[in-house]
Chains A and B, each alone.
Chain A
Amino acid sequence: MNGASCAAKISTQPFSLNPTSPASHDRPLVSPKPASLFLGSTRKLRLSSSSKLNLHRRSGTVVAVSDVVKQKKSKSTHSLLITKEEGLELYEDMILGRAFEDMCAQMYYRGKMFGFVHLYNGQEAVSTGFIKLLKQQDSVVSTYRDHVHALSKGVPARAVMSELFGKTTGCCRGQGGSMHMFSREHNLLGGFAFIGEGIPVATGAAFTSKYKREVLKEADCDHVTLAFFGDGTCNNGQFFECLNMAALWKLPIVFVVENNLWAIGMSHLRATSDPQIYKKGPAFGMPGIHVDGMDVLKVREVAKEAIGRARRGEGPTLVECETYRFRGHSLADPDELRDPAEKAHYAARDPITALKKYLIENSLASEADLKAIDKKIDEVVEDAVEFADESPVPSQSQLLENVFADPKGFGIGPDGRYRCEDPKFTEGTAHV
């Protein structure tokens, strides 16, 4: 069956980046050994479902696959997946994400950052693997765990750090905060606190791309949108509504599920009737792919294909990335429910360590090259903190700004200009 051989493609030796055995790619934390791994479900539940799930994971990780993947299968398995430049770019992006998030934690505990802060440690492969393939005009829509998506999309570290400190030099002038990163320039459309809220917005951005091409006749408009969200969101109504509409109207969007198995303290297996999220894609008429989200090169291969599909006008794809967050849900989360053994299992699959190993083993880069990048990023992050520290807080007048795009709220007149700009427009009753 296609599934089995493609599963082999995804977990075959030459592409293996992980020090653990290849089978572990397919097998999630749930192992046949009883009562050991995670506390999320009751023991009874875990034991009865573990073997069944185990089997599913092993037998076929890909259910519905696009033609391009089937063709790729026959390519030589000995060529490298990336060039040196690409490898260093990926490495740098992941190190930036990691270093930035670690610095956020430090700054939070020192009181410079406040409110809700959700860190991305451990999931960098997904952000880097997908976003580094995009053009500037492509859009990214994220959730509250959006710092690294912003950085990968190109928002400067200084702007993100200032935003987190609540300073006026932040990307949203301090008005958005950790959970609401927006950048018009980089087409980062947020930053939404409600899970599932970003998915329809992303679908709308994809709709615009198609509308521009078909109705406004901008023939070269092939912008793609990526919607990032988690496993908990996949039980939400808006997710299904948008899978339906995106497939119905063949929108250029990729739905990227960052399945880190936990929604705050609720394990994915306790919350979901069928935990294999990628299967929900074909139910709506789009391919559903499961990929090892701790391996940036595998994510990148799948991303290339999904983004390519969207760009060619073939419609949406659902990609489930099995990943893990090393820290708690947010900095306020004591993270007591997750089993330390599970955390150790995934820490051993750290995507950065894996990429580093791949680059060195395949002679794409030397230790010195990578250390230079580490140092460079440390400086970037330190500089971002300094910049944010020295930036001013928003002035009082900023409180009432930007509620409306319209300066006074009187709307637009027949001549197309704002009514408040018309010197003859006075206070008082409307005269028509």
Chain B
Amino acid sequence: MLGQSLLKIRPAISVLRSYSSAAKQMTVREALNSALDEEMSADPKVFLMGEEVGEYQGAYKISKGLLEKYGPERVLDTPITEAGFAGIGVGAAYYGLKPVVEFMTFNFSMQAIDHIINSAAKSNYMSAGQMSVPIVFRGPNGAAAGVGAQHSQCYASWYASCPGLKVLSPYSSEDARGLLKAAIRDPDPVVFLENELLYGESFPVSDEVLDSSFCLPIGKAKIERKGKDVTITAFSKMVGYALKAAEILEKEGIDAEVINLRSIRPLDRSTINASVRKTNRLITVEEGFPQHGVGAEICASVVEESFAYLDAPVERIAGADVPMPYAANLERMAVPQVEDIVRAAKRACYRVVPLAAAA
């Protein structure tokens, strides 16, 4: 599936080059590591800060080898002080350094959320453009496997509701490399939501992606799979599930278009609306809590801009409206699965008896 979509990729506007058809495989972990490595090598103002990023090689080994290469002044192992070191990052960013602040998971970012929102996101506005904050807050977001309620929340909609922040969420290795590089180069605060379960997954990458100047635009979604019957939007791990659902639906005669949002804020409303105007049906998929989630915003945007084009109500698929349970079977029910997406697509297409919205 992915291989086919790769062949349809048109080269980026600024760089036209051919790529070998035997694409290299790269895990998301390698993609993030190489992106960090290249950006730190290109700009001495970039530095990494967080718990266990140095000697431990990264809690999830994303920063493997960086301490050895760049030294302890640029790869800082911090004490367990999220509020403190997030604020230190903001203060450094005021002066033009480019900190990459790692949260072991975004659940821990809640200890630092005051700095992410009040001092990073709002500073450029409050100071009328004098203090821009070129900082990146990154780390795994969303559910892992069996880690319980306090380690499983998805923060995409919380951060994406705040003006002044850019919120990115990659899916594939190409996304991971391109978006992280763009985020590090960006003059504004970026919240970079990775996913622990994707770190080990391998994706094919073209030569262009491997080039050190490669970066993706922010605020642009990617159509992973073109279709004409129903639009499915997703981000992060859910893109993989949506693609699998699309394969299943194809056998049943439903041609689904899968959009990988990549950027939650700014949201690529034009791509989503253009797609809905083509297919007339929309399903939003996300891992986080349903109320006030990313899907709610997408639904509102489509209703506002493409109301006349909708042939069916928008279906939102989200995590269950409960704190994440621990038991494996309950956890499976609390996170969207491929079957949920397939069922929702069928509902949107055939208007079969709608099931209750509960998990």
Q: Looking at the complex, which one of B94, B163, B174, B274 makes contact with A428 (CB distance below 8 Å)?
A: B274
- Chain B residues with Cβ below 8 Å from A411 are 166, 182-183, 185-186, 215-219
* Nearest residue, chain B, Cβ from A215: B73
Minimum CB–CB distance from B48 to chain A (whole Å) comes to 12
8 Å CB interface, B151-188 against A: 163-164, 166, 174, 178, 182-183, 185-188
The CA-CA distance from A211 to B262 in the complex, in Å, is 33
Closest to B94 in A: A189
B residues near A404, Cβ cutoff 8 Å: 124, 164, 166, 187-188
Given A208-B95, A422-B14: A402 touches B128 (CB 8 Å cut-off): yes
Contact of B127 among A182, A204, A430 (CB under 8 A): A182
A136 part of interface (Cβ distance < 8 Å): no
Contact for A409 among B10, B91, B123, B166, CB less than 8 A: B166
Q: With A200-B91, A204-B93 given, is the CB distance from A431 to B12 under 8 Å?
A: yes
Number of chain A residues whose Cβ lies closer than 8 Å to a Cβ of chain B: 64
Instruction: From known contacts A208-B97, A245-B81, infer whether A182 and B88 are also in contact, taking CB-CB under 8 Å.
Output: no
Q: Which of A13-21, A49-57, A412-420 contacts B (4 or more CB under 8 A)?
A: A412-420
Judge if A335 is at the interface, Cβ distance under 8 Å.
no
* B90 proximal to A (CB < 8 A): yes
What residues of chain B lie closer than 8 Å to A222, measured between beta carbons? Answer: none
Interface residue ranges of A362-407 to B (CB < 8 Å) = 401-406
Residues of chain A within 8 A (CB-CB) of B219 are 408-411
| Chain A residues, CB < 8 A from B218 | 406, 409-411
Assess A201 versus B10: contact at CB under 8 Å? Given A172-B128, A409-B219: no
- B146 beta carbon closer than 8 Å to chain A: no
* Contact for B125 among A244, A402, A424, A427, CB less than 8 A: A402
Decide: A203 and B88 in contact? CB cutoff 8 A. yes
Instruction: Give which listed residue, A199, A215, A432, contacts B12 with CB less than 8 A.
Output: A432
Query: A175-B126, A211-B92, A429-B222 are contacts. A237–B83 as well, Cβ < 8 Å?
Result: yes
Q: Contact check, B131 vs A189: say whether CB atoms are below 8 A apart.
A: yes
Number of A-B contacts (CB under 8 A): 225
Of A197, A205, A242, which one neighbours B118 at CB under 8 angstroms?
Answer: A197
| Chain A nearest CB, measured from B138 CB (Å) | 15
Given A172-B126, A201-B87, A204-B90, A430 contacting B79 (CB threshold 8 A) = no
Cβ of A278 under 8 Å from chain B: no
CB atoms of B222 and A403 under 8 A apart: no
Provide the residues of chain B in CB contact with A241, threshold 8 Å. Answer: 79, 81, 83-85
B45 close to A (CB within 8 Å): yes
Residue of B nearest to A201 (CB): B91
**Complex Cα–Cα for A429 and B231 (A):** 14
Evaluate whether A184 and B127 lie within 8 angstroms (CB atoms) in the complex, with A215-B44, A409-B266, A425-B13 already known: yes
How many Å from the CB of B64 to the closest CB on chain A?
21
The answer to whether residues A402 and B124 also contact, given A194-B114, A412-B185 and a CB cut-off of 8 A, is yes
Please give, as numbers and ranges, the residues of chain A lying within 8 Å of B183 by CB-CB distance: 411
Check B81 against A172 for contact (C-beta < 8 Å): no
Distance, CA A193 to CA B119, complexed state (A):
10
Contact B188 A204 (CB under 8 A): no
With beta carbons under 8 angstroms apart, the residue of B11, B125, B208, B217 that contacts A425 is B217
Interface positions, chain A 150-196, Cβ under 8 Å from B, are 172-176, 180, 182-184, 189-194
Option from B78, B132, B214 in Cβ contact (under 8 Å) with A245: B78
Contact B14 A414 (CB under 8 A): yes
Could you pull out 27 A-B pairs where Cβ atoms are within 8 angstroms?
Answer: A172-B127, A173-B128, A176-B128, A182-B128, A199-B87, A200-B83, A201-B90, A204-B88, A205-B95, A207-B92, A215-B74, A241-B79, A242-B87, A245-B78, A245-B85, A401-B129, A405-B187, A409-B218, A409-B219, A410-B220, A412-B185, A429-B220, A429-B223, A431-B10, A431-B11, A432-B9, A432-B222
